[in-house]
Amino acid sequence: MKKYKSVCSLDCWDRCSIVVTIDDDNNMSIDGDKEHPITRGFLCQKGLQHLSQRNSTERLTRPMKKVDGEWRPIQWQEAIKEIGDRLIQLLNNEGPSSIIHLSDAGHCGLLKNIDKAFFNSLGGITKSVGSLCWGAGIEAQLSDFGKVLSHDPVDHLNAKTIIIWGRNPVYTNVHLVPFLQEAKKRGSNIVLIDPVRTATASLSTHFYQIKPHADGLLAMAMAKLILERGLCDTAFVSKYSEGFENYKAQLDRLSLQELILETGLSEAELNQLTELYAGLSPSSIILGYGLQRYPNGGNNIRLIDALGALTGNIGISGGGVNYANQYINQWIDWQYANNTPSGEGPTFVKSNFADYILTERPQEIKAIFVTRGNPLVQLPNTSKSLEAFRSIPFKVTIDHFLTDTADNSDYFLPCTHIFEEEDFLFSSMWHSYFNFSERALDPPEEVRSEFQIFKSLSEYMKLCEFSNKYPNERYYLERALAPLLSNTGMTLEEMKGQNLKLKGNEVPWENKVFSTPSRKFSFINPHIEVLRASYANDEYPLQLLTLHPKDSLHSQHYREKVKQLPKVYCNEELLKDLMISDGDIVKVRSITGEIKCMASATADVRRDVIYIYEGWWLKSQGINNLTPKGFSDIGNQAIYNHCFCKIERL
C-alpha cells in the first residue's frame, strides 16, 4: 500500500490537501489530509468526486476527430500533424490574430499555464480579457489596497463581528464553517447579508435580506450612520487614506431614507447592522462573488472596502475586508510561466464573446483552442455564444469529458487528471497554504498532459524558441517557482507531501503601508447613477440570481444530470399568484432566451427574486440561455445577476 499527497485542483476557496492511497491491487481511494491546518482532513462533495471523475467510463482517453458530424478515434501523431498544419497555415496566410485561445480555471495547477506560454509564442493571437468569475472585485481591491489579500482564517476568531456578505460558505467554502462556529461559540456575532436566505443563515446570529444590486447602496447608508454617530476612526482616515473628502461629499448628497428604501431593509435593521459592525471592534467582512456580478459590481466592492477604512478595521487583528487572497502569486514568475509577450494582439471582453465573433470581426476568426473550461455552458447569452462558436471553422478542445464545448469542436484531446501528474497548487482565493502535488498513478495509455500536448505541437511546428525555453515539465516548474524556491530555501522534491505557508500575511496591511501609488488606502469616488442601475419592468419583473451549488464546481460535475431539469426557486406567494404549484414544469423567459425548469416554492427569497443553481449543461436547458451579455463598471466582469425574467406555467 502506498500513500501520496495530492491537492484538489478545483477553482475553489479551500484548496484541500488530499491523501491518495493505492493498495496492492492498484485500487485507489482518497481522503482529506488530516495534517492540513486549514482543511483538517475532510473533503466536500466536489472534492470527493475526484475519484469518480478520474475513473469514469465516460472519460475519453483517446484523441478524437469529428468526421461528417461523428466522433472517431485518431492517433496522436495524426492529431498533432493535422492541428499543427492548420495552425501553420493560419499563421502564414491569415496571421496570428485569426486564432483565439480561450482558457479559464477548470484546473488550477501552475503547470497548466503551459497553454498560455504556447499561444503567446505564436505572437499576437486574439485573447480574452476580463472575467466570468471575480474580475470586478479584484480590480476594486487593487484600486483600494494595491493588492488583493485576505486575513488568515484563524485570525477571524479575533473578531467581535464577522459579516458574511454575499457568500454561502456552507456550500462553497465549507472549511470556513468550523472557524465561524468557533467564533460564534466565543461570542462573536455572525452576520449574513444576502438576497437569499442561504444555508449559511443557520450559522448566523443575524440575517439581513438585501435587494439584489443594492450592496453598494447599503454600504453608503452604513457609512452615513458611521459618520453621523462619530463611529469613524479619524486617525486611520487622516493618516493612512486618500480621497476621503470626495467620498464624503458624495455621501452628503444622498438622503439616508432614500438609501434605506433602495436596500430593502428597514431603518431598524440598518441601525442594528451598523452598530454590530462599527460599534464592536474589531469587525471583519468576508465577501462573496455574487455582489460584483452586476453593472455596478466594482463600485459595490469598493464601497464595502470603504467601510473597513472608515472604522479602522484595516490592518488590525480580527478585521479586514476579505475578498480573495493572491498572496502566493507574488512568488511565482508569471512572465516566464505565461511566456508573456512584449507586444499584444487583439483582445475582447470574455463575456462579450458572441458579439466579438459575429459583429466586431465577422468571419475573421478562423480557429479557437479551448483549455481548462467549458465556455459554451459558462458564457452568458448561450444561443448567441453557441452560434458564434459554431461559426469558427476550426475548433480544438482539451478536456477529460465530451462537454458541450468539446462536443461542438472538431478535435478533442484527452488530458491528465491531477492524480496522474505532478503540479504546484496555490491558493489565490482564501488561505495562504500551497502544495506540490505528487503523481499517484499513471494516466491511461493514450492520455497526455497539457505540457506533452503543447510540447509535441511546438516540435512539429518547429517553434524552436518555445521548445528551448520549456524543455520539460520539471524545468518549467523550477523556473516558474524560482522566486518561491529562493524564498523558502526548498527544492521541489522537499516540497512534496508538505503543507506549506509563507508567513507575513496573517493580518494584511498591519504596518498601514498599502501597495497603491500613494502607499495609502484609496477611497472610492462613487458613481451614484451606476449604483442605482436596475432594469426590472412589467414584462420581466423578476430578478434571476444564478447561485453556486453545493455539489459541483460550475459545470464540472453535471454530466450525470443531463436528463434532469433544473429547479427554479421562487417565493411561495409569487407561485400562488401565478397559479403555479410546487413541482410544476414552468418556462423561465428573459430577453435573451428561455428554458424549462421545475418550480420549487421557498420562503427564502423576496417575491421579486428567483434563483437557479448554475452549471447545468446545454442538454439540461443551460441556465445561461437567460443571462445577458455586458460587463461591469470595472474589471470587465460578466454581469450574470443583472438578469430579469418572467415565469409562465406550461
Angle among Cα 266, 270, 274 to the nearest 5 degrees reads 170
DSSP H helical ranges for 423-472? 450-460, 464-469
Domain assignment of residue 514, yes or no: no
Domain assignment of residue 511, yes or no: no
The string of DSSP letters for 247-270 reads: HHHHHHTS-HHHHHHHHT--HHHH
Does 423 lie in the same domain as 311? no
* Whether the predicted pLDDT of 534 surpasses 80: no
Cβ atoms of residues 409 and 370 within 8 Å: yes
pLDDT of residue 624: 96
Cβ atoms of residues 642 and 630 within 8 Å: yes
* Number of other CB atoms surrounding residue 489 within 10 Å: 7
> Helices 267-278 and 297-310 sit at what angle, rounded to 10 degrees?
60
Cβ atoms of residues 471 and 279 within 8 Å: no
* Whether the predicted pLDDT of 18 surpasses 90: yes
Domain assignment of residue 115, yes or no: yes
Rounded-to-integer distance, Cα 291 and Cα 194, Å = 9
Rounded-to-integer distance, Cα 112 and Cα 129, Å = 19
Length of the chain measured in residues: 650
pLDDT of residue 557: 86
What mean pLDDT is predicted for residues 495-522?
93
Domain assignment of residue 9, yes or no: yes
Does 497 lie in the same domain as 395? yes
Does 609 lie in the same domain as 543? yes
pLDDT of residue 502: 85
Domain assignment of residue 510, yes or no: no
pLDDT of residue 450: 97
Determine the structural domain holding residue 193 and report its residue range.
135-325+520-529
Does 597 lie in the same domain as 547? yes
Q: How many contiguous H segments (helices) and E segments (strands) does the chain have? A: 25, 27
Does 201 lie in the same domain as 189? yes
Give just the sign of the alpha carbon dihedral 88, 89, 94, 97: negative
When mean pLDDT is compared across 517-531, 542-556, 635-649, the lowest value belongs to 517-531
| Grid cell of 401 as nine digits | 469529458
Does 257 lie in the same domain as 153? yes
Question: Strand (E) positions, 33-152?
Answer: 64-67, 70-73, 99-103, 126-129
Instruction: Supply φ then ψ for residue 330, to 5 degrees.
Output: -70, -10
* Number of other CB atoms surrounding residue 597 within 10 Å: 26
Does 336 lie in the same domain as 318? no
The whole-chain average pLDDT of the chain stands at 95
Domain assignment of residue 442, yes or no: yes
pTM for the whole structure: 0.96
pLDDT category at 427 given cuts 50, 70, 90 is confident
Does 7 lie in the same domain as 117? no
Cell 466579438 identifies what position?
Answer: 356
Cβ atoms of residues 55 and 20 within 8 Å: no
* Whether the predicted pLDDT of 446 surpasses 70: yes
Structural domain ending residue among the three candidates 14, 32, 55? 55
Identify which of 504, 506, 501 has the alpha carbon closest to the alpha carbon of residue 37: 501
Between residues 102 and 343, which one has the greater pLDDT? Answer: 102
Domain assignment of residue 512, yes or no: no
| Grid cell of 154 as nine digits | 484563524
pLDDT category at 105 given cuts 50, 70, 90 is confident
Identify which of 192, 215, 307 has the alpha carbon closest to the alpha carbon of residue 604: 192
What mean pLDDT is predicted for residues 316-340?
95
Give just the sign of the alpha carbon dihedral 609, 612, 613, 617: negative
Q: How many domains does the chain have?
A: 4
- Residue 50: give its domain's CATH number: 3.30.200.210
Rounded-to-integer distance, Cα 578 and Cα 573, Å = 9
What mean pLDDT is predicted for residues 622-645?
95
* Whether the predicted pLDDT of 316 surpasses 70: yes
- Residue 623: give its domain's CATH number: 2.40.40.20
What's the pLDDT tens digit per position in 57-100? 999 999 999 999 999 999 999 999 999 999 999 999 999 999 99
Does 552 lie in the same domain as 487? no
What's the pLDDT tens digit per position in 242-255? 999 999 999 999 99
Domain assignment of residue 558, yes or no: yes
Rounded-to-integer distance, Cα 377 and Cα 637, Å = 17
Coil, strand or helix: which one is 589?
Answer: strand
Does 26 lie in the same domain as 72? no
Rounded-to-integer distance, Cα 382 and Cα 396, Å = 19
- Residue 182: give its domain's CATH number: 3.40.228.10
What's the pLDDT tens digit per position in 153-211? 999 999 999 999 999 999 999 999 999 999 999 999 999 999 999 999 999 999 999 99
Does 222 lie in the same domain as 170? yes
Does 319 lie in the same domain as 292? yes
* Whether the predicted pLDDT of 39 surpasses 70: yes
pLDDT of residue 532: 67
Structural domain ending residue among the three candidates 529, 547, 565? 529
| Grid cell of 333 as nine digits | 514568475
pLDDT of residue 530: 62
